Structure formats: C-alpha cells, structure tokens
Chains A and B, each alone.
Chain A
Amino acid sequence: MKKTSTERKLKTSTKSSKNREFVIITYLFVAVFIMMMGYFAYFQIFKSEDFINSPYNTRQNTFAEHVVRGEILSSDKKVLAQTIVGEDGSETRYYPYGAMFAHAVGYDSNGKYGVESFGNFSLLRSHAFFLEQVLNGIQDKKNQGDNVVTTLDYSLQETAYNALGGNRGAVVVLEPSTGKILALVSKPDFDPNTIASEWQNIISNTDSENSILVNRVTQGLYPPGSTFKILTTLEYMRENSNYQDYSYECTGNITMEHTEIHCYDNAVHGMENLETSFAKSCNTSYANIGLSLNKKKFAGLCNELLFHKDLPSPYPSNQSSFELNEKSNTDQVTQMAIGQGKTLVTPLHMALITSAIANGGALMRPYVIDHTENYKGVAVKNYKPSAYGNLITKEEAQKLQGFLSKVVSEGTGSKLSGQIYQAAGKTGSAEFSNNKNESHAWFTGYASTKEKGSIAVTVIVENGGAGSTAAVPIAKQIFDSYFSR
C-alpha cells in the first residue's frame, strides 16, 4: 500500500497532492463507518442478550406463535417444567414437581416469574436442525423450543423443601466459587400447575407478608438478628487492630439509658473475648461493642456490603436497609449492633455476604441458568460465572472464617461440628414483635470438603424460635445431603 501510494505520488504529483486532504477526510469517514459497523456486530454478538431478556421487552411473546415452549431442567437433567401438546394442538405447561420448585422455576401464566421469565427468550427460540424447521414450516407445525438447563440441584432442592416442612420461611443454597444457585425455597408456596385457575384467589390476598407469590429469599425483609454480628465484628476489627485484646464480662443483661439489652434466653456468658462473644452470640457484649463504634464508618461498611443497594440477583429483589447516622441515640446503636431495631435484610443478602466470606472476599454474581440447548441436547449457549467484585479483603475474609468456624466448634452452631465436612456459620434469633418470646430462626454459613469444594446455605424459619435449634438442623440436612453423596 505504502509503495503504491508513493509511486502514485511521483507519477501524478500535482493532482494527488491537491487531493491529499480529500483522501484524509475520506479515510476518516470510512474509519468511523467501520467502527460503527463493528459496534453493531459487537452489540449483536455480546450485548444484545441483556436487551432481549429485559422484562421490558415484550417482543418475545410473539415467538410463541411458531414455537412450542422448551423445557426447564435441573442441573442433573430432571424436567422441572415442560409443555405438553394435546392432540388438538392445545398446549399445557406442566410442572412435574409441583410446588417444590415454585419460586425457583416460577410460572408462565398471568405474567411470568423465575426461570420462566428470564429464560423466556431461549425457551421460545428454536435451534432445531434447520431442515426440520423448514419441514415444520411447510406442514404449518410449530418448532420445538430450546431447553434451559438450570444450576438448580434436584436433591438439594428436595432436601431443603422437605427440611423447611410446614414452616414459613426461606432457604437458599449457593456455590460461593461460582455464584450458582443450587437451591431456592420459599414458603408458603403455590403449585404452578394450578396457578392460572387459582389466580383470583391468590391475588385477592394483597397483604405482601402473606402472599404466596412473594419469593422470601430475595424479597422477604427480616430483622437479621445475631447474623448481623458478622458486620458488627468486621467493623470492630477495622477500627481496632488490637481486637484480640477485647474483653467483656457478661452478666446476662446490660442497661444503657432507657434500654435494657439481655442475652438470648437470659443466658449469662461470663468473661469473654471478641471471638467467644461472637461464638456464643452474646448480645450484651455486642451492645457494648456497638457503642464504641464510629457511627459514620459503621454505616459506610454496611453500604459497602450492599445495604440500600440492588443485589446482583436474577430474581427481583428488595433492598436491605438500616438506620444509623451521627444523631442515632444509644438505643438505636445498640439495637443495630445486635441486628434488631430498624435493620432489615433479605435472606439472599445474608447468603451473598456469607459466600463472599467463604470465597475469600470475592462475591460471584448469583445465577440460575447454566446453559441452553436445543431439544435434542446440543448446547446453544453457556453462561459463565462472573465476579461482582470484592466485598471485603482477603485478610478480613480469613479472620471472619475463623470466627464463623468457632461458632460451630464452640458456640451456637455446635450441631454442625464433627461431620465429614468442615462447617462454619452464624445463627440468629431475630425478634420481630413486642413479644420477646417470638423470634425468627436464622442460620447463615457454609461447609466444605477438599473434594467437593464449598456450598453456602442461608436459612430463615419464620417464628421458628432459636436459630441453633430451628435453623441449624435444616442447614445440616442440606450439608449432609450434599457432602454424603
């Protein structure tokens, strides 16, 4: 190119040099045109998915005229949702496991939810062999849509579903190293097979607390109770490099100004350091810690850990919240430190913090669609794990891992000790009404073995009492099921 242009210059010097600026302008424009076409291709290949799958995009539904909706499968290829075509051509969406996957898989009538919603585009596209599609076209037959293979683990889901039993509450199981959602249970639930016929009934209950459509994992807002002490501990460690020298004598209660804070079940824990305060979940010690904290920094830490933010979640989620500022009084601060007062979190939020700790501080974006494939099983698109970012530093994660292990080895999570897996976690018993005898039972933690890596589990049992007796056993069943197979 260079050579020819110099030669050209020599031979037609007058005209060529006269047009030099024209050539520059032409190249400039052509370059921008090429960039624009490149961007168009880039958008089609990499970015279009975000827009196609947006719930605002109503175009997808027209596909249903020419495609039979594909199946939703568990990671071990059990069919969780399928469309049955009757002899008259009528289509019925069938969910073989009924309510077990209600909130996880969702529904496809009277609106869409769950995998049915964010997998909608794939379910309604067909990547069947193209000659077959041509043949179907000639016969005016519909093509078979693609299947969506989820990250949901059938046996974990079943275990979690049965373990929660008749209680109201939520269970979520994540794989910290990838963000895969392995199980997601919310109760009370519904049977997606009958949701259309019972729709009027369902929506007549406008009380969001009791609505069976609410996915309590991502939308349920609960006081975190003692599970919040993870954040209080982290803030104390950040403010006091000599946190190991902390000591406190618990007498079962502490009275500050107008408030009395007492330990759960009126226990008296005696002499404690930070680690034992955490392991035994000592409220009076944590009220004491809370008062020593810098309110502004503490609020900052909570915001860094995704309070008042949209969580990375494929399912619609609510924002967790707290109220703490420079003007907060003693009562508000101590309540905040032990996870009571106006602090509200979603179970998914606790699960994300827990998995970040288990994963060395790095949070992976939770996801539920593993890949899509055509109805014959030929892969169409794989979804890869993606990092959200570091919630805390690696050192902080390691310190907290130690604290969470202590809870299992010496504290309120002792039911998880001595297993084939190494478990760690935090219990909570969150008071939600003026009746001090009623509390939601929490557990959030993780377990690992060398061979199978780790999974994180967050459990909340509404009005279940103490976390150690109501929530820990559910987590244990899940860990047992996962690591024993």
Chain B
Amino acid sequence: MLHLITELSKYTMIILFALYTYQCFSALKRSVDKEEQAEKFRSQVVYMYLFHFNAYAVLYLSMEKNTEIIKFYLMQAVFFAAVQICYGIFYKRASRLVVNNMCMLMCIGFVILTRLSYDYAVKQFQIAVVSMAATLLIPYFISRFKYLKSLTWLYALAGITMLGVVAVLGAVSHGAKLSFSIAGIAVQPSEFIKIIFVFFVASMFYESTEFIQVVKATVIAGLHVIILVLSKDLGAGLIFFIAYMVMLYVATRKLYYFAGGLLCGAVASVAAYYLFNHVRVRVVAWQDPLAVFEREGNQVSNSLFAIGTGGWFGMGLNQGMPNKIPEVKQDFIFSAIAEELGGIFAICLILVCVSCFLMFLNIAMQIKDTFYKLVALGLGTIYGFQILLSVGGDIKFIPSTGVTLPLVSYGGSSLLSTLIIFAVIQGLYLFRERTEGEQGFDRRNKNRNAGKKESVKKKSARRKGGMKSHEENIHGTKVEDFD
C-alpha cells in the first residue's frame, strides 16, 4: 500500500507542479486582467501547499513515521505563510510571481533535502528563516536609498579585498579555496561579492560609458575574475565574467565589446584547459564519464545514473539512491530531484527558474533609471547563468563547474545570497511603483479593467501565442493596440 501511495504521489506531485509552472507563464498573458492574474497567483500558492503536503505525507510514511517530520512540515507551512503574509501586507507592489517562485523553489529544496538528510534539511530551514527575516527589509532600502549609485569604488574595494583574503587565507575545500569560517559557520564570500560586483559595474556605467571608463571597469572586473580563477573557483569566475560582459554590452550598446569579450573568454577557457589540471579533469569527465568512472567521471556518471534511472516520472520519493552521488546536496541537487520526482518535474523546475529570470529581466526593462536597470540586468544574468551552470553540469550538457542551484541546494551562503538577490529585485519592483507610477502590467491591467467588455474575438486573437504575449510584457512596451 505504501508503494502504491508513493507511486500515485509521483504523478500527483508532477501534476501539481506542472499546474504551478503553467500559471507562471499563463498569468503573464496579455489577455489576463489583474483580477484573473491575482487569482492565478493565489492558485499557485494552493498548488504549492498541496505539493508540500503530498511530498511530506510520502516522506512521513516512508521514513519510519517519524513524528519529527510532521513538526518540521508544520513549521515550514507556517514559514511560507509568514513570507506570503509579510509581502502581502508590507510590499503590496512587489511581484507576487517572484514571491511565489521563491517559496516554491525553497519548498522543493526542503522536500528533497529532508529526503537526502533530515539533519541538513533542518539546518537549511533554520538558515532560511534567519535569512528571510534579514532580507525582508532589503526591498524597502533598495526602493528608497539613493546613495547606492555613488559607492562605486567602495564596492570594488570591498569585493577585491574579500576575494583576495579568501584566496590567501581561505580553507582549501574540494580543491578550491572558497570559504572561511566565522564563528564556526563556513562563509563563501564569492556568493556575496557577486552582488556587490553587480552594483560596482552598474554604478561605473551609470557614471559614464566612455572608453576610459570601460577600461577602468574592465581592469577591476578582470581582477575579480583572475583572483577567482587562481583560487580555483571556476564556476564563480565564469559567472562574474558573463555578468560583466552582459552589463558592458547593454550599457555601451556595442556589440563588438560583447563578441570580443566572449572571444577572449573562449581563448582563456582553452588556455585554462591546458594550464590547470582541475579544468582538464572536468572536461575529461564531461566527454565520457563512464570511461573514467573510477576517477574523474564518478560524480557525473552517478548523476546520470540517477537521472536516467528516474526517467520521466521518477522513482518516487525515498525510492531512489540519490545519496550515491557525491555532493548531491549542493551541486547535484537537480539530479536527485530528477531521479525521485521525475524528468517532467525537473523540466518544470527549469521552467520555474526561467520564469524568475524573465521577471528579473522584465523589471530591468521596465525601470527607467539606468543604474537600477543595470543592477536588475546584472542580477538576472547571474541568476540565469547560475541555473545554466548548475543544471547543465548535472545533466552533462556542459562540463560540471560545481555551482549550486539557487534556493534549492543546501548551503547557507548560497541561500542567503540568492534571497538577497530576490529581495533587491523586489525592491526594484517597489522602486518602479514609487517613482515612475504604474506601468507595464499594471498600466495594462488598468486599461483592461476599464474596457473589460472588449469583444471576444479580439481577446482570442490576442491569445493566439501565450509565449509571444508573455514576451511582449517582458519587453515592458505598451503593446495595447498592436492588433
């Protein structure tokens, strides 16, 4: 009977998450008015709670009916409710979709971590509560404090000093100098410096995009990347590099900067392959993991065993062997999810992350202030690129770089820094509302409400491409009357 419940839950959880994912995109259709949209966001919360309940029911039944799990479940439910309520009361103008996605991703993280290791899940939950409380004020500050633009060199100084200190003193973990301990808690500074870095680049290009300014910014950015590569944190180095290239391109609007930069990046990658053994190891494991199973390929092979054996529908919670994958709680959490919750679930997870990314870029396009535009763009790039590195590495789409999946993977620094990024983005949504009045969705919705009785024909004409209309919104352009 337990087996049947687990088996059926596989499908119900996929359906619930698929419905949730569908609403991420359907809520942004132009044909959806504000009330409908709010309704859809509410339904997302319901799907999340149903999924959460379903998952913990299976975990409770399959994990020796430990009553601790029920307590843990209830605490999480309260936590999510608190987050939803706080945003509902204090930040009415924040993006509901981003709040929902934030909760959903953490929810999936708690579920899979409970399955992988109860103790780690509890620890992750504690970190989440503290981090959430700490970051709850950020949207308010971001939307009001003006001097953030003028701290340019302070950002650079802070970033480079911290990275340098870690590179020199940092503990050697997993072949990379990534972290140091403060009062027994391992802190991975690069997770936070990437946010400061985005603020630095944004303020540089806010001041000017003249050639000399570009040179200055590039030197500082290059310094960041070089320190990271030297301390063997390749994943972070790559993220900084891409974030800088994207921001440079958008700020200067010069395509040849972007193309030239990517070309340099490609040359540097090839050089890194020949210079550094730890780069070669990753590439070898990526090329044919089974051929080097005993050594380099072990992690990627195990990840692919998990994903392959799980198939489209998964093995069911607690039915697989995700703990066979080294580092499964951090870098390879996606494989564990694909194994037990299924390939369809995993694809939906990617889509939810894509939806977050689109919301980041959406605010970047809607806001008028160049500095904030660039901040949103930079953070969006970092987030999106991190998803690519993490998931791509797990499924052997690209060589594994040892990057966590934001909000889902275990790890305090990763969780806190991602919550900061989400909070900053929410701050920008508030900023737009405060300084620039209603625009984009809301403007549109207002109009829609006014003319709600438009012809059905027109409505269906708009409906013809969900994705398209979604993109129209994303561009933040007023496309009311294009048809």
List residues of chain B with CB within 8 A of the CB of A140: 1, 3-4
Instruction: Report A118 CB to chain B, min CB distance, Å.
Output: 14
Contact indicator A54/B477 (Cβ below 8 Å): no
Contact indicator A12/B477 (Cβ below 8 Å): yes
Residues of B447-483 contacting chain A, CB below 8 A: 468, 471-472, 474-479, 481-483
Q: Is B358 close to A, CB under 8 A? A: yes
Closest B residue by C-beta to A30:
B354
Q: Is A32 close to B, CB under 8 A? A: yes
Q: Is B421 close to A, CB under 8 A? A: no
Q: A58-B321, A138-B1 are in contact. Are A21 and B305 (CB under 8 A)?
A: no
Q: Is B143 close to A, CB under 8 A? A: no
List residues of chain A with CB within 8 A of the CB of B343: 40-41, 44
Q: A40-B395, A56-B293 are in contact. Are A23 and B475 (CB under 8 A)?
A: yes
How far does the alpha carbon of A138 sit from the alpha carbon of B8 in the complex, in Å?
A: 11
Residues of B342-394 contacting chain A, CB below 8 A: 343, 346-347, 350-351, 354, 357-358, 361, 364-365, 373, 377, 381, 384-385, 387-388, 391-392
Stretch touching chain A among B84-92, B181-189, B216-224, B307-315: B307-315
Q: A25-B381, A33-B350 are in contact. Are A19 and B4 (CB under 8 A)?
A: no
Instruction: Report B202 CB to chain A, min CB distance, Å.
Output: 14
How far does the alpha carbon of A446 sit from the alpha carbon of B4 in the complex, in Å?
A: 53
Contact indicator A56/B290 (Cβ below 8 Å): yes
Q: Is A37 close to B, CB under 8 A? A: yes
List residues of chain A with CB within 8 A of the CB of B290: 50-51, 54, 56
Q: Is A260 close to B, CB under 8 A? A: no
Contact indicator B477/A48 (Cβ below 8 Å): no
Contact indicator A134/B395 (Cβ below 8 Å): no
Instruction: Report B199 CB to chain A, min CB distance, Å.
Output: 18
Q: A15-B477, A26-B358 are in contact. Are A51 and B3 (CB under 8 A)?
A: no
Partner of B306 from the list A4, A59, A134 (CB cut-off 8 Å) is A59
How far does the alpha carbon of A170 sit from the alpha carbon of B396 in the complex, in Å?
A: 41
Give chain B's interface residue range (CB within 8 Å of chain A): 35 or more
List residues of chain A with CB within 8 A of the CB of B8: 137
Partner of A49 from the list B1, B308, B324, B384 (CB cut-off 8 Å) is B308
Q: Is B7 close to A, CB under 8 A? A: yes
Contact indicator A52/B309 (Cβ below 8 Å): yes
Q: A22-B377, A58-B321, A62-B321 are in contact. Are A8 and B479 (CB under 8 A)?
A: yes
Interface string of B227-250 (1 = CB under 8 A from A): 000000000000000000010011
How far does the alpha carbon of A56 sit from the alpha carbon of B343 in the complex, in Å?
A: 21
Residues of A1-22 contacting chain B, CB below 8 A: 1, 4, 7-8, 11-12, 15-16, 19-22
Partner of A52 from the list B308, B312, B468, B479 (CB cut-off 8 Å) is B308
Partner of A51 from the list B308, B388, B392, B474 (CB cut-off 8 Å) is B308
Contact indicator A56/B301 (Cβ below 8 Å): yes
Q: A12-B478, A56-B305 are in contact. Are A26 and B319 (CB under 8 A)?
A: no
Q: How many pairs, one residue from A and one from B, have CB atoms within 8 Å of each other in the complex?
A: 148
Contact indicator A57/B388 (Cβ below 8 Å): no
Contact indicator A58/B324 (Cβ below 8 Å): yes
Contact indicator B377/A36 (Cβ below 8 Å): no
List residues of chain A with CB within 8 A of the CB of B354: 30, 33
Partner of A7 from the list B312, B357, B361, B482 (CB cut-off 8 Å) is B482
Q: Is A243 close to B, CB under 8 A? A: no
Contact indicator A26/B361 (Cβ below 8 Å): yes
How far does the alpha carbon of A56 sit from the alpha carbon of B305 in the complex, in Å?
A: 9
Contact indicator B388/A33 (Cβ below 8 Å): yes
Contact indicator B364/A22 (Cβ below 8 Å): yes
Contact indicator B311/A44 (Cβ below 8 Å): yes
Residues of A29-88 contacting chain B, CB below 8 A: 29-30, 32-33, 35-37, 39-41, 43-44, 47-52, 54, 56-60, 62, 66
Q: Is B304 close to A, CB under 8 A? A: yes
Residues of B300-338 contacting chain A, CB below 8 A: 301, 304-309, 311-312, 315, 319-321, 324
Contact indicator A19/B308 (Cβ below 8 Å): no
List residues of chain B with CB within 8 A of the CB of A41: 343, 347
List residues of chain A with CB within 8 A of the CB of B471: 26
List residues of chain B with CB within 8 A of the CB of A4: 472, 479, 482-483
List residues of chain B with CB within 8 A of the CB of A16: 475, 477
How far does the alpha carbon of A32 sit from the alpha carbon of B392 in the complex, in Å?
A: 10
List residues of chain A with CB within 8 A of the CB of B307: 43-44, 48, 51
Closest A residue by C-beta to B347:
A37
Contact indicator A8/B395 (Cβ below 8 Å): no
How far does the alpha carbon of A47 sit from the alpha carbon of B301 in the complex, in Å?
A: 12
Contact indicator B308/A44 (Cβ below 8 Å): yes
Q: Is B446 close to A, CB under 8 A? A: no
Q: Is B141 close to A, CB under 8 A? A: no
Interface string of B34-69 (1 = CB under 8 A from A): 000000000000000000000000000000000000
Q: List 5 A-B pairs, Cβ < 8 Å.
A: A25-B381, A40-B395, A44-B307, A51-B309, A140-B3
Q: Given A21-B253, A51-B305, A59-B324, 10 more contacts at CB 8 Å?
A: A22-B373, A26-B474, A29-B384, A33-B350, A43-B395, A44-B307, A48-B311, A51-B304, A59-B305, A59-B309
Closest 6 CB pairs of A and B: A48-B308, A137-B4, A57-B305, A21-B250, A51-B308, A51-B304
